[in-house]
Structure 1
Amino acid sequence: MTTRANELLSRRQGSSLVLTLNRPEARNALTGHLIRAIGDAVIEAENDPEIRAIVLTASGDRAFCAGMDLRSFAEGGDIGTGDDPATTAYYRLTRGETAMPAIGAVNGVAIGGGLELLLGCDLIVATAEARFGLPEAKRGLFPGGGGTGIGTRIPLSAALEMTLTGEFLSAQRAFDLGLVNAVVAADDLVATALDYAGRVGSCAPLSLAACKELVRLAVTDPSQVTERLSHWQSVVFTSEDAIEGATAFMQKRQPRWKGR
């Protein structure tokens, strides 16, 4: 059985930070401690200019994350609320507001808060055995951690079906609906996610931040796009990296990004 000290495993892989939820005996369910550990890792990544992407996966083959740890919740345990920096960073991740792209690698069921965590990822890779669900209504709850925003990633009819019935999507249907970017064999899961991370990380950091925010806003809050577009135009098009990108293209070499 894992201890609190190793409920989240973290390792560097090139320019990516790979985070592994490590409570397989509890289907990687979320506790307050695990939520803060993820948040701390997000802060670490955002403060490290060498990290260009986060890859989020989980131990075991049964579950990516079963959502809230209901046993802990029923016993009145810590379920990860508060305004401390780590908790705040975790919920920024679930809202897709991290400074760098995040890629989910799903090796089993992702339900409730586990799926809400994935909705903060910009790309999702899954095994054929993965399943996705928001079953809160069956338990007298609702997806209060951002799951009701599932309609920004899949068609409205499918989003309503998921939330109103509480039933699961297969990996293939999730792919067909556009929730998942690729369905791969289990042995290829993390390698595929890292391949995406490498391709993402080869792009300029400021460009990535602009694309990530503006593409999401175009779906979630179009009224903000014009203002934020103006901001990012002034930041990106006058940056050192913009000059470096053009120079590297002319010199037929790989650009050396500085993030400014």
Structure 2
Amino acid sequence: MSEYILTSKQDRVGIITLNRPEVLNAWHSEMRQQLIAALDTFSNDESLGAIVLTGAGDRAFSAGQDLNETRSFDSDRAISWVAEWEALYDKLRSSPKPIIAALNGVAAGSAFQVALLCDFRIAHGDVRMGQPEINSGIASTTGPWIMREHLGLARTIDLTLSGRLMNADESHALGLINRLVSVDRVLAEALALGEELANKPPVAMRLDRQRFQEITEPGFRDCLEAGVRIQGEAYASGEPARMMELFLKRRTG
């Protein structure tokens, strides 16, 4: 089996690396399943007190969804696709351990959402973040939910409908990036923060994360219900497949 996800440990911090650098760490179904398994393993490892999530290579944390997978979806597959994201996001939200995103490059679409579901984000000055799904014909449902929790409605509308990527300075000013460091210090800073958090009282840490999950649970469940309806309608129309084909042709042309 291909190792789309790499795992390692440094002291009391578990490190999960998204490992498809040839496609900017874009994920497909098997990669998502491996990521869920890695998060589950580390979340239940009593020797660990924190988790760092990063990407392989020096270009991307993750470009988000691999369009080579979704361009062939029909409405039924689009609905089961929503369930795959529910499983991943549930795992991120329910871990008793704090999760830190070490952003080594672009975080786009669903990868932007995953970064926002982490508790902290460490990045360098060339990182770009945003929700460009509309540009490839994908309607956004989980994206607007998590962005509104962080940014409010006006900026969520901006990012969803424009599909633009924010630079690191804008993301930092909005509080989406907690610490901006030099490119060679991203992982080291994330690991140092992980060690600091790992030394906090574990029961209080688990209960604090649990409470954040409880506070945001109604919105999360609403966006998943909307995702089933909206993605089913979108893919039944054929528009996502057409737009993804055009997007991929422009990218490789």
TM-score normalised per structure 2: 0.77
CA gap 1:44/1:148 in 2 versus in 1, 3 angstroms: same
For residue 198 of structure 1, what is the amino acid of its counterpart? E
The answer to whether structure 1 residue 111 and structure 2 residue 127 are counterparts is no
Q: Which residue of 2 aligns with 1:122?
A: 119
Question: Within 2, Cα distance between the matches of 1:147 and 1:88?
Answer: 15
1:29 shift after superposition: 0.3
Following TM superposition, by how much is the alpha carbon of 1:212 offset from its aligned partner in structure 2, in angstroms?
2.0
SS at 2:190 equivalent: helix
| Structure 1 position 52, deviation (Å) | 1.1
Which 5+ residue runs of structure 1 have no aligned equivalent?
223-260
1:30 counterpart residue number: 27
Deviation at 1:158, TM superposition (A): 2.0
Determine whether 1:143 maps to 2:108. Answer: no
Distance in 2 (alpha carbons) for counterparts of 1:97 and 1:60: 28
Q: Which of 72, 90, 94 does residue 97 from structure 1 map onto? A: 94
1:224-235 equivalent positions in 2, closer than 5 A: none
- Rounded to whole Å, the distance in 2 between the matches of 1:71 and 1:212 is 35
- Cα RMSD of the aligned pairs, angstroms, is 2.5
- Answer with 155-164 or 182-191: which moved more: 155-164
Shift of 1:220: 6.5
The residue that corresponds to 1:173 in the other structure is 170
Go from structure 1 to structure 2 and tell me whether the alpha carbon gap of 1:89 and 1:138 turns closer, same or farther (over 3 Å shift): closer
Between the aligned partners of 1:114 and 1:147, the Cα distance in structure 2 is 13
TM-score normalised by L of structure 1: 0.75
| Cα distance change on mapping 1:111 and 1:175 into 2, 3 Å | same
Runs ≥4 residues deviating over 6 A: 77-80
Q: Offset at 1:138?
A: 2.3
What residue number does 1:229 align with?
A: none
SS of residue paired to 2:151: coil
Unaligned runs of 5+ in 2: 220-253
Q: Report deviation, 1:36.
A: 0.6
The sequence identity of aligned pairs, in percent, is 29
The structure number with the bigger radius of gyration is: 1
Contact residue 108 and residue 132 of structure 2 kept, 8 A: yes
